[in-house]
Structure 1
């Protein structure tokens, strides 16, 4: 199932297009490795499609080896 989200600019400048994003569950098994270690292995990933951006996979935290990752002060939002 696809969950769709729409956001419209309020009081945007002339020529500004609408921003659309939506999530789509993927039936694929997704694995990511780094340095020979499996960081994520899941069959429950979702893909986020967003206007003017490349598609991005999101994973359930329960399927991510958080013990192998380091927290940073960076944020994606």
Structure 2
């Protein structure tokens, strides 16, 4: 499998409610599970390599958003707004 390498890409800032963030994390979890199964089905070929690269990026995003969600639920020092 090809090792995932993060590219230098623009960073975006997004505002979500905790409910929206929970939904995004759940969707990312479903997506990573589906890609893991796809990788197992394809074995070791170019399609699996592409899926693995996508899996790594998706997993990284999921982990980042989970940490934000956990901080929000714990009430840690994060920016809150009441718009």
Q: Structure 2 length as normaliser, TM-score? A: 0.24
Q: Which has the higher contact order (CA 8 A, sep 6+)?
A: 2
Q: Structure 1 length as normaliser, TM-score? A: 0.25
- The structure in which a higher percent of residues are strand is 1
Q: Which has the larger radius of gyration?
A: 1
- The structure in which a higher percent of residues are helix is 2
